[in-house]
Homo-oligomer: A and B are copies of this chain.
Protein backbone atom coordinates (compact mmCIF):
# COMPACT_ATOMS: atom_id res chain seq x y z
CA UNK A 1 0.00 0.00 0.00
CA UNK A 2 1.25 3.43 -0.86
CA UNK A 3 2.14 2.69 -4.47
CA UNK A 4 -0.17 3.40 -7.37
CA UNK A 5 -1.55 0.19 -8.91
CA UNK A 6 -0.72 1.07 -12.49
CA UNK A 7 -1.46 -2.44 -13.78
CA UNK A 8 -5.15 -1.86 -13.24
CA UNK A 9 -5.26 0.88 -15.84
CA UNK A 10 -4.67 1.33 -19.54
CA UNK A 11 -1.51 2.83 -20.98
CA UNK A 12 -3.50 5.88 -21.99
CA UNK A 13 -4.79 6.39 -18.47
CA UNK A 14 -1.34 5.97 -16.95
CA UNK A 15 0.24 8.26 -19.52
CA UNK A 16 -2.33 10.97 -18.99
CA UNK A 17 -1.80 10.74 -15.24
CA UNK A 18 1.97 11.09 -15.74
CA UNK A 19 1.47 14.16 -17.94
CA UNK A 20 -0.70 15.71 -15.27
CA UNK A 21 1.75 14.81 -12.54
CA UNK A 22 4.56 16.52 -14.43
CA UNK A 23 2.79 19.86 -14.10
CA UNK A 24 1.15 19.15 -10.75
CA UNK A 25 3.49 21.45 -8.86
CA UNK A 26 3.50 25.26 -8.91
CA UNK A 27 7.29 25.38 -9.22
CA UNK A 28 7.20 23.33 -12.41
CA UNK A 29 4.35 25.46 -13.74
CA UNK A 30 6.43 28.56 -13.00
CA UNK A 31 9.53 27.07 -14.60
CA UNK A 32 7.67 26.22 -17.78
CA UNK A 33 6.02 29.63 -17.92
CA UNK A 34 9.39 31.27 -17.51
CA UNK A 35 10.97 29.25 -20.28
CA UNK A 36 8.04 29.93 -22.59
CA UNK A 37 8.04 33.66 -21.88
CA UNK A 38 11.74 34.35 -22.26
CA UNK A 39 11.75 33.08 -25.82
CA UNK A 40 15.43 32.71 -25.50
CA UNK A 41 16.08 30.02 -22.91
CA UNK A 42 17.39 30.31 -19.38
CA UNK A 43 19.73 28.56 -17.04
CA UNK A 44 20.28 29.35 -13.38
CA UNK A 45 18.27 32.55 -13.05
CA UNK A 46 15.39 30.24 -12.18
CA UNK A 47 16.96 29.92 -8.76
CA UNK A 48 16.63 33.69 -8.32
CA UNK A 49 13.25 33.98 -10.04
CA UNK A 50 11.54 31.40 -7.85
CA UNK A 51 12.67 31.39 -4.25
CA UNK A 52 13.74 27.79 -4.10
CA UNK A 53 17.19 26.37 -3.45
CA UNK A 54 19.38 25.36 -6.35
CA UNK A 55 19.14 21.62 -5.74
CA UNK A 56 15.36 21.90 -5.58
CA UNK A 57 15.18 23.70 -8.92
CA UNK A 58 17.55 21.18 -10.41
CA UNK A 59 15.30 18.38 -9.25
CA UNK A 60 12.19 19.95 -10.77
CA UNK A 61 14.08 20.48 -14.02
CA UNK A 62 15.01 16.83 -13.98
CA UNK A 63 11.39 15.78 -13.66
CA UNK A 64 10.43 18.00 -16.57
CA UNK A 65 13.27 16.49 -18.56
CA UNK A 66 12.13 12.98 -17.65
CA UNK A 67 8.81 13.52 -19.40
CA UNK A 68 10.57 15.31 -22.27
CA UNK A 69 8.81 18.60 -21.71
CA UNK A 70 12.14 20.43 -21.74
CA UNK A 71 15.64 19.91 -23.10
CA UNK A 72 18.92 21.16 -21.72
CA UNK A 73 21.92 22.23 -23.74
CA UNK A 74 25.28 22.96 -22.17
CA UNK A 75 26.30 26.57 -22.83
CA UNK A 76 29.67 27.39 -21.39
CA UNK A 77 29.54 26.46 -17.75
CA UNK A 78 25.81 26.92 -17.49
CA UNK A 79 22.91 24.97 -18.97
CA UNK A 80 20.28 26.38 -21.27
CA UNK A 81 16.81 24.89 -21.15
CA UNK A 82 14.12 25.07 -23.76
CA UNK A 83 10.69 23.62 -24.40
CA UNK A 84 10.43 20.43 -26.40
CA UNK A 85 7.79 21.60 -28.81
CA UNK A 86 6.69 18.12 -29.83
CA UNK A 87 6.01 17.01 -26.26
CA UNK A 88 4.47 20.37 -25.47
CA UNK A 89 2.04 19.99 -28.34
CA UNK A 90 1.33 16.39 -27.38
CA UNK A 91 0.44 17.41 -23.83
CA UNK A 92 -1.90 20.03 -25.21
CA UNK A 93 -3.48 17.54 -27.54
CA UNK A 94 -4.03 14.75 -25.03
CA UNK A 95 -5.26 16.95 -22.21
CA UNK A 96 -7.57 18.74 -24.59
CA UNK A 97 -8.90 15.42 -25.84
CA UNK A 98 -9.51 14.28 -22.29
CA UNK A 99 -11.45 17.37 -21.34
CA UNK A 100 -13.73 17.07 -24.32
CA UNK A 101 -16.94 18.98 -23.57
CA UNK A 102 -19.54 16.96 -21.70
CA UNK A 103 -22.79 16.61 -23.64
CA UNK A 104 -25.97 15.18 -22.22
CA UNK A 105 -26.15 15.64 -18.48
CA UNK A 106 -29.31 17.00 -16.90
CA UNK A 107 -27.98 17.08 -13.34
CA UNK A 108 -27.38 13.42 -12.66
CA UNK A 109 -29.06 10.11 -13.46
Contact = CB atoms under 8 A, between A and B. Distances in A.
Interface of A, helix, strand, loop or mixed by DSSP: mixed
A92 interface: yes
B88 A99 contact: yes
Interface residues of A, number: 55
Given A8-B51, A20-B21, A51-B5, A102 B75 contact: no
Interface string A65-109: 000000101010000111101001101100110111111110111
A30 B73 CA distance: 37
Contact of A9 (B26, B41, B103): B26
A31 to B, nearest CB: 10
Contact of A82 (B21, B52, B81, B109): B109
A59 interface: no
Given A75-B109, A82-B108, A85-B102, 4 more contacts: A8-B51, A39-B103, A39-B104, A89-B99
